Each structure stands twice: as structure tokens, then as C-alpha cells.
């Protein structure tokens, strides 16, 4: 949890804070998050008799006092201080660009939701559902693509073609490798779809696909034996995770280099394909749509020398089999403060189940931001519990989530870390229609069962 009350600061950080105070007309505060020191300017303003705290993030320092200035990419003034920020707000008759990005209007949120559920939907189809004419939808989509760096992709179910899903956490006890060394090591393994370094309880988070436990163990043995970890002592936790119907992590293009081995070619020795093998057309459609789901099917036919209409037919068949769950989008840019990794360790299943509906309702609660409240929600097995990845946009938002989890997830303990840097892959930021989620459907089922039980008595 963030420690923001009288943090014990290293001498070098105290000296940095004093230098910043000498330059500032406002207050300076430091939030200690893991091994980082996050520095803010702040002041108070009175609005309708209510005192409101206004903060401005200056940057991050390490224990040696090395200061990395924050990059406020979308502020018109490129403000470098709270004073500049306040002046820009006073002189502006409209919300800042950052505010517009963090709190899009209802129509933009509706469009993001429709694209998240079907990225290949036409402007006409989207407009009909949300009550806009197609030209307005097209204009807004282009604006959203630019603002959030939207990528079109697909949501795949790896279990349908022979891969299991695993989350791995690493906690360093002594020493830690250079980030560039970790990026090079983990980036070479195509089964790793996401990897980030953290501050707080855990230091590394990995999402990995493997064909079976033997393959997983071989990969981990090789990774752990790398010279990168020569001077480190660490605890590795590997947990199997069930397949989510709501949240996803995009597949890296490199994964499909590995998938080439699963393409079936008819020979005398292999007259029929195995259960987890793919036809060449299936491989082509999955690879190209994963890279860019807006590609025309005729272009896939041309690239792979397929018969006319083959790619379109194959896409439909993959949807029917649930190998492709849907075409969707990923927001490549979000003006977040940081990403929180929350590990909810389940200790008392009976107590947790007694309040499970309230916990689930909070998990799928609709966000005011452009994306879902959580970027990832998974059941995991080591230790048994749940992992949540939450984009944090506003000050105090993390503390609110922590309090919410503690009050609704009874019988659990919470471990909090913050993502320092994503080194491999990306998260699946989008705006899912939670009424289509398995969590929502499970809640309805639980409510119906509770109703029936009450009627019996």
C-alpha cells in the first residue's frame, strides 16, 4: 500500500526535496512506492466553501536522489510545475486534454465499448446501436484512434489449440538484474506474452503460455539458470490460471513464429491432423488478424495464396469453434499515473463465499475512464486467490480500490505492487460490455439460486 505519511527518506532524496522546495511556491510531498520516491507539488483551493487539494506530479527519484522528470504529454502548455498548470487551467475555458482523455464523454465510451466487443463492426452498425449517424461515428472513431493509439486485434482462446495459461511472480530477496537484461532474456521466449517489473511486494510479473507442465518446467529451468540471475536470490511463484471470458492479454506477433510448428501438412505419415494442429488458412487468419484485425480478408487470401473467400470462411469457422472469441481493440496509450498489481490471497473460502456477490459486483463495475476498471482479473493457484491489474488515473484511486477489496473480499489478504515498466508485450486495455461477461452471468445465477433458497424457507 502507498505510504504517504511521514516517509523515511534517504539523505539524497531529502536533499533533492529541499532543492525542489526552494524553487516552488507550493508544498512538496513524497510518496514512497516500493523502491521509488514519487514527488508531487500540491496546494489547496476553496470552492463553494470546500477546501480542495490540487496535486501535480513532478517526477520520480531513486534512493541516490537521481530525479526523472514527469512527462505530461497531453497538457497544452507542457506544464512543468503546479504553478504553470494552475495558470493554464485559469486561462482555459474548456477542460484540459488530459481531463478529456481520462473522462471521455458518454458517446465516446459507447463507441469504445462497441469496438471492444466487435472491432470489425461498421460505422453504420455502431451508429444504429448508439443513436448516431455513421459519419459522426467515423469521425469519433478516427479521433479515438489518434488519442488512445488504438490497435485492432483479436481475442484468442489458447486452450483450443493446445496451450495452457500461467502467471509467474518473482520476488527478489537479494540483488536484482538490470531491466535491459530482463527484457532481452524474457523477450526471446515467444511463449511469454507479457512481462513487467514491479515495485512493492513483487518485483516481476510474467504471463506465459505453455503446451504442458513439462514444457513449462523446461522453460523456467532455463530462465532461472540464466547468468542474468547469477547474483540474485529470488522466490518464484508459478500458478495455473483459468481461462477468462472477459479480460485478455494480447498475443505477441512472435508467438506465431512458434505456432508455425502446429500447421498441419498432409503426408503419408500424417494423413489426418491432430486435435491441436491448425490448417494453413487458420494459421494465416489468426496471425494476420492478431497483428491487425482491420485487414481485409481478400488481402489475407492474397498474402498466403489461398483460394478467394477462404480467409472469410475460415474466420467464421474459428468464431464458431470459439478459437477466436471476437475481434477487439487495445488502447496503446492511457494517461495513467501507474498500473497497480493487486494479489488477493484467499485464506477462508467459506467467509469469502458469504460475500462473493458484492465482491464480483465491484469487479465489473463500470468505469468513468475510457477502459474497464481492471485491465486483468484472473483466478490463480499459487497461492490460491485472484490477481487484478488496475490502471490508476487519479490521486487516491488506488487507496479506494484497496479499501473496496478489503471490505468486499472477506477472508482474504491483499498484496500490492506497482508496475514500473512493461518490458515484454502489452495489456489488453479496452471497454468490455460487462453484461456479456461470465462474471455478470454468474452473479445473476447466484442471485437466482439465493432467491430459490429463500422461497424454500
Q: Residue 127 and residue 143: Cα distance in Å, rounded?
A: 16
Domain that holds residue 123: 97-148
pLDDT (tens digit per residue) in 106-121:
999 999 999 999 999 9
Q: 65 with 127, same domain?
A: no
- Looking at residue 80, its pLDDT comes to 67
Confidence check: pLDDT of 93 > 60: no
Structure letter (DSSP) for residue 36: E
- Max Cα-Cα span within the chain: 84
Q: Is residue 61 domain-shared with residue 101, that is, in the same domain? A: no
Residue 247 covered by a domain: no
Strand residues in 412-454 grouped as ranges (E): 412-425
Contact present, 388 and 342 (Cβ < 8 Å): yes
391, part of any domain:
no
383 prior amide bond cis, ω within 30:
yes
Q: How far is CA 198 from the centre of its chain?
A: 14
Q: Which element (helix H / strand E) includes 454?
A: helix 438-456
Residues 83 and 19 in one domain: yes
With respect to residue 136, please indicate whether it lies within any of the assigned structural domains.
Answer: yes
| Residues 86 and 18 both lie in one domain | yes
Residues linked to residue 414 through DSSP beta bridges, in sequence order? 344
Last residue within a domain, chosen from 148, 180, 214: 148
Q: What is the mean pLDDT of residues 65-79?
A: 62
Q: Residue range 72-91: average pLDDT? A: 59
Closest among 344, 376, 361 to 443, alpha carbons compared: 361
Segment 320-336 shows an average pLDDT of 94
Q: What SS3 state is found at 419? A: strand
How much is the pLDDT for 72? 55
Q: Are residues 20 and 85 in the same domain?
A: yes
* Torsion angle of the four alpha carbons 155, 158, 164, 170, in this order, in degrees rounded to the nearest 10: -40
Mean pLDDT of 296-304: 96
Q: What is the pLDDT of residue 232?
A: 92
Same domain, 79 and 27: yes
Per-residue pLDDT at 264: 86
How many domains does one find in the chain? 2
| 313-348 core/surface letters (b: 16 or more CB in 10 A; e: else) | ebbeebeeeebbbbbbbbbeebbbbbbbbbbbbbee
Percent pLDDT > 90 in the chain is 60
Short-list 389, 384, 379, CA closest to 346: 384
* 126, part of any domain: yes
Taking the C-alpha atoms of residue 352 and residue 363, their distance in angstroms, rounded to an integer, is 14
- Helix ranges (DSSP H) in 364-437: 397-408
351 — phi, psi (to 5°)? -65, -40
d(CA 103, CA 237): 37
Query: Are 86 and 29 found together in one domain?
Result: yes
Sign of CA dihedral 94, 97, 98, 99: positive
141: enclosing H helix or E strand: helix 134-148
Residue 180 within a domain: no
Q: From residue 305, how far is each of 243, 281, 298, 301, 311 by CA, in Å?
A: 34, 10, 10, 6, 10
Rounded Cα gap, residues 275 and 111, in angstroms: 38
Taking residues 332-344, report their average pLDDT. Answer: 93
Whether 127 is covered by a domain: the verdict is yes
pLDDT for the residue numbered 290: 96
pLDDT reported for residue 59: 83
Residue position matching grid coordinates 520516491: 37
- Specify whether the CB–CB gap between 343 and 387 falls below 8 A: yes
More confident residue, 131 or 44: 131
**Which stretch, 89-93, 173-177, 210-214, 326-330, has highest mean pLDDT?**
326-330
pLDDT band at 58 (very low <50, low <70, confident <90, very high): confident
Asked whether the beta carbons of 24 and 81 are under 8 A apart, the reply is: yes
Return the pLDDT at 284. 96
77 in any annotated domain: yes
Q: Would you state the cell numbers that stand for residue 94, as one nine-digit string?
A: 474548456
Question: If you average pLDDT over every residue of the chain, what do you get?
Answer: 88
DSSP string, 325-336: EEEEEEE-----
Supply the pLDDT for residue 191.
Answer: 96
Which of 90, 113, 134 delimits the end of a domain? 90
Is the same domain home to 15 and 57? yes
Mean pLDDT of 205-223: 94
Q: Examine the domain organization and report whether 72 and 28 are in the same domain.
A: yes
Q: Are 166 and 240 in contact (CB under 8 A)?
A: yes
The pLDDT tens digits of the residues spanning 8-43 come to: 789 888 988 888 888 888 889 888 876 778 888 888
Residue that terminates a domain, selected from 90, 109, 136 = 90
* Whether residue 126 sits in one domain with residue 74: no
CATH number at residue 138: 1.10.10.10
Residue 387 belongs to a domain: no
Amino acid at each position: 500500500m502507498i505510504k504517504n505519511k511521514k516517509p523515511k527518506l534517504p539523505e539524497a532524496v531529502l536533499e533533492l526535496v529541499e532543492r525542489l522546495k526552494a524553487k516552488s511556491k507550493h508544498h512538496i510531498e513524497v510518496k514512497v512506492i516500493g523502491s521509488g520516491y514519487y514527488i508531487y507539488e500540491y496546494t489547496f483551493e476553496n470552492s463553494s466553501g470546500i477546501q480542495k487539494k490540487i496535486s501535480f506530479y513532478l517526477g520520480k527519484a531513486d534512493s541516490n536522489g537521481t530525479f526523472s522528470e514527469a512527462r505530461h504529454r497531453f497538457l497544452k502548455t507542457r506544464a512543468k510545475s503546479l504553478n504553470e498548470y494552475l495558470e493554464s487551467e485559469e486561462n482555459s475555458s474548456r477542460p484540459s486534454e488530459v481531463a478529456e482523455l481520462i473522462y471521455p464523454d458518454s458517446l465516446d465510451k459507447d463507441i469504445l465499448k462497441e469496438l471492444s466487443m466487435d472491432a470489425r463492426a461498421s460505422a453504420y452498425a455502431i451508429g444504429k446501436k448508439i443513436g448516431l449517424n455513421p459519419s459522426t461515428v467515423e469521425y469519433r472513431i478516427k479521433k479515438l484512434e489518434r488519442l488512445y493509439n488504438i490497435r485492432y486485434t483479436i481475442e484468442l482462446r489458447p486452450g483450443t489449440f493446445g496451450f495452457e495459461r500461467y502467471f509467474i511472480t518473482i520476488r527478489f530477496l537479494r540483488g536484482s538484474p538490470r531491466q535491459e537484461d530482463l527484457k532481452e532474456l524474457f523477450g526471446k521466449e515467444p511463449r511469454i506474452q507479457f512481462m513487467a517489473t514491479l515495485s512493492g511486494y513483487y518485483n516481476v510479473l510474467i504471463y506465459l503460455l505453455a503446451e504442458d507442465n513439462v514444457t513449462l518446467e523446461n522453460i523456467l529451468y532455463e530462465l532461472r539458470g540464466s547468468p542474468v540471475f547469477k547474483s540474485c536470490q529470488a522466490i518464484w511463484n508459478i500458478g495455473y490460471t483459468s481461462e477468462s471470458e472477459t479480460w485478455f492479454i494480447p498475443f505477441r506477433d512472435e508467438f506465431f513464429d512458434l505456432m508455425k510448428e502446429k500447421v498441419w501438412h498432409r503426408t503419408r505419415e500424417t494423413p489426418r491432423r491432430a486435435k491441436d494442429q491448425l490448417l494453413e488458412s487458420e494459421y494465416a487468419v489468426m496471425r494476420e488478424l492478431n497483428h491487425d484485425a482491420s485487414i481485409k480478408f481478400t488481402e489475407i487470401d492474397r498474402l498466403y495464396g489461398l483460394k478467394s473467400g477462404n480467409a472469410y470462411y475460415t474466420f467464421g469457422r474459428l468464431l464458431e469453434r470459439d478459437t477466436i472469441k471476437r475481434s477487439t481493440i487495445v488502447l496503446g496509450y492511457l494517461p495513467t499515473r501507474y498500473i497497480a498489481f493487486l494479489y488477493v490471497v484467499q485464506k477462508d473460502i467459506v467467509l469469502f463465499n458469504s460475500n462473493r456477490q458484492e465482491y464480483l459486483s465491484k469487479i465489473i463495475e463500470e468505469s468513468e475512464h475510457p477502459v474497464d476498471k481492471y485491465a486483468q482479473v484472473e483466478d490463480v493457484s499459487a497461492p490460491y486467490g485472484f490477481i487484478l491489474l488496475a490502471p490508476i488515473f487519479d490521486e487516491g484511486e488506488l487507496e479506494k480500490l484497496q479499501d473496496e477489496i478489503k471490505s468486499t473480499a472477506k477472508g482474504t489478504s491483499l498484496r500490492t505492487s506497482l508496475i514500473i515498466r512493461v518490458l515484454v508485450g502489452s495489456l489488453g486495455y479496452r471497454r468490455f460490455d460487462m453484461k456479456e461477461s461470465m462474471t455478470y452471468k454468474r452473479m445473476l445465477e447466484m442471485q437466482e439460486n439465493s432467491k430459490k433458497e429463500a422461497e424454500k424457507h
